[in-house]
Amino acid sequence: MFNVVADPGALPRYHKAGRLGGPLARLLIAGTVPVVVLGTMIRVFAVPGARVFRLFIAVLLSPLVGLRYVFLSVLFEGMLWGVDAFEVNRARAKLALFVADVFASVPRKDQRAKGDCYLRGLMLDGRRKSIQAMAERLADGNEQNLQQFVNQSTWDPVPVRRRIAERMVPQIGPAAWAVDDVSFPKDGKMSVAVAPQYCGALGKQANCQVAVSVHAVSDTASCPLQWRLFVPQEWAHDAARRKKTGIPEGVGHREKWRLALDTFDELAGWGLVPPVVVADAGYGQNADFRDGLSKRGISYVVAVRSDMTLHPHSAEPLTPPWSGKGRKPQPRYRRKPSPVSALAMSHGRPAFHEVTWRQGSRGPMRSRFLALRVRPAGVRARRLAQPAATTEHRHWDGVLPEVTLLAEWPEGAEAPSDYWLSNLPAGTPLPELVRLAKIRWRIEHDYRELKHGLGLDHFEGRSWVGWHHHVTLVTAAHAFLTEQRLAPKADTADSPSTRSSMPSRTC
């Protein structure tokens, strides 16, 4: 029913099969800055759903700035704002079945109907996905009803997310689960869990909310499975703001890596276990996070920084002789650990092998990689390793656990650029390690679609329950669109792809 532009670095585009835009869109590459600016200006004046108008503008401007951005920004203007009314309308029957299943835990029929309405509002074309803006675009939109459904209603979002996860994991067939955090810039002090902190959306310290999310990812599809709103330390004992925003008792400050582990535990309780976990260095650098995954029997491929220190696999600790007085000496490695970057470079460029991990929009994506067996060093690594070894062997010989270091040295670069650690078995093929290390791009893909296409960060409420309701509804909309992308296409006389493309506003 929906096709997706084959550009892994861009937001999925939903357009009609066989139309002029399909083959053109697949050939598009990123535009230059002036063209992006022009395309943005065009979108401001484009009428959502008016395909003829957008096509006319595209044809006029193509000789001036080329096809590479005009068709993406004008003809497929919904890329950043959603799906047009015609496509939402023809999906109504499938959406109704989806809502009936995913929102089965919501007790009241009228609440489920509002959920259907809200999902259509999120998917429909429009730069703003606030409740007021969506209600104005929907024929059956009632702002007051939607406000109550999201901000005051008591329906539990957890069973809805569980059903989404149970439904999507088999369809995606994930190669890994990706964990990351996403930020929502905010003004003021009264939105739930808002605080001055690092804001990834702005690339600096700013007033924002931060959430931890876990996504099922494959090379072709992905979907959020669960969310945790990060509660900053300043909110832990602020009774006034906690009461005002409705933060439940027992919910306090927890580090993001702990929230991620909590999420894996909850998903395991639903019968869902990750094949492998992938994460950026914000999580991978943390020894407690890696240890928590290992103790849960979860394999990982996580990014680390170049200054992380390691021992070579062959290094062995020695225990100095005991004088007979005082405490017995602890085993120690004779040489200091090396930074990841130094250890990788010491093997030289010829040790790195070229690997192609997937086909991108501009051709095969390849680079040069090296895999080494190493032992992460540091005080925290020792403290985590010692009690585990003591419990198992009653005596710790000082040997740190071994993992695989994956390093990337791009062609033409003066030094390796990226590094990952993995607890996968030692015999894991290099191409498999590389594919898993690089598959994390899908989570950025999700965030762009969730934010720019479905309004994840457009929520204007302030409450705990409102935030979780909105995020759950956005996740449901994303899951529905992902299902339509993955579903086999039927091009019959009755299929939507053969009908008139004139827009409708009966959403």
- Report how far apart, in Å, the C-alpha atoms of 487 and of each of 4, 87, 190, 400, 482 are: 12, 15, 42, 47, 9
Tell me, what's the pLDDT at 64?
Answer: 53
Contact 197, 210 (CB under 8 A): yes
Single-letter residue type at 504: S
CA separation for the pair 229, 253 (Å, rounded) = 10
- A 10 A CB-CB count for 320 gives 10
Residues of the chain with pLDDT under 70: 1-82, 387-395, 489-507
C-alpha–C-alpha distance, residues 386 and 393, integer Å: 10
User: Residue 131 in contact with residue 470, Cβ under 8 Å?
Assistant: no
Which tokens hold the place of 379? 């005080």
pLDDT at 466: 98
DSSP for residue 349: G
- Do the Cβ atoms of 405 and 421 come closer than 8 Å? yes
Task: Report DSSP state, residue 118.
Answer: H
Q: Would you report the helix, strand and coil content of the chain in percent, each value rounded to 5?
A: 45, 20, 35
343 in Cβ contact with 351 (< 8 Å): no
pLDDT at residue 125, rounded to an integer? 86
Helices (H), 139-185: 143-147, 157-172
Q: What torsion do the CA atoms of 229, 437, 348, 372 make, to the nearest 10 degrees? A: 90
pLDDT at 347: 96
pLDDT digits (tens, 9 = 90+) for 329-359: 777 788 899 999 999 999 999 999 999 999 8
User: What is residue 173's three-state secondary structure?
Assistant: coil
Q: Supply the pLDDT for residue 463.
A: 97
**Contact in structure between 299 and 423 (CB atoms under 8 Å):** yes
Give the separation between CA 298 and CA 265, rounded to whole angstroms.
Answer: 11
One-letter identity of residue 410: P
CA dihedral 236, 242, 246, 251 (to 10 degrees): 10
